[in-house]
Amino acid sequence: MRVHRGARASSLVLPLALAVGLGAACVDGGSPAADAGAGVAISVAPLSLPGIVDACYDLTVKSGPGGTGSTVWTRAGVCSQGYGDGGGAITYVGTCDASTGADNSVQLVMTSLTDEAGDAAFVNPCPASAPCTKDAPCSPNEDSPVTFDLTVMR
């Protein structure tokens, strides 16, 4: 059986090129950004209301404490049927801004509450005009927990 030397040489070229390319990509990669991997793990505790099948919230993270600073992100329509237990509880992880060196803040607005019959009438503890706000540290490579425990009255 005769082996063609060109086939062996070409079979080594691809792995060698890949190794050189990866090595070049690692040279002078710099340090990660100050907020690399920084996040907040937002949760809303289950609501203690019988018959609730969904609750929806709008979430906003600000780069300063007490709702100050610039908006890092906003997410509307985070509902318990998609991000939780269907009974009002949610869990959502998003980024925060660690570059400020200060606490970030999470704002929560309750936008709807649904029971078996449809839209439920309720006294909103976190309306758009006065969002529930909690401060949280924002550290690189860490998800800081932010928990809201709401009391909702019908």
pLDDT in tens, 52-64: 999 999 999 999 9
Quick one: pLDDT band at residue 154, thresholds 50, 70, 90? confident
Residue type, 93: V
Predicted local confidence at residue 29, as pLDDT: 40
Quick one: pLDDT band at residue 37, thresholds 50, 70, 90? confident
Give the C-alpha distances (Å, rounded to integers) separating 5 from 1, 140, 144: 13, 52, 58
Which one is predicted more confidently, 27 or 140? 140
Fold that domain 39-148 belongs to in CATH: Immunoglobulin-like (2.60.40)
- List the domain boundaries for the chain: 39-148
The answer to whether residue 101 scores a pLDDT higher than 60 is: yes
The answer to whether residue 30 scores a pLDDT higher than 50 is: no
The helix or strand, by DSSP H or E, that contains position 57, with its residue range, turns out to be strand 52-62
Predicted local confidence at residue 35, as pLDDT: 53
Q: Cα 129–53–143 angle (5° rounding)?
A: 60
When pLDDT is averaged across residues 96-100 and rounded to a whole number, the result is: 95
What is the pTM assigned to this prediction? 0.77
Mean pLDDT score across all residues of the chain: 84
Rounded Cα gap, residues 26 and 46, in angstroms = 46
Quick one: pLDDT band at residue 36, thresholds 50, 70, 90? low
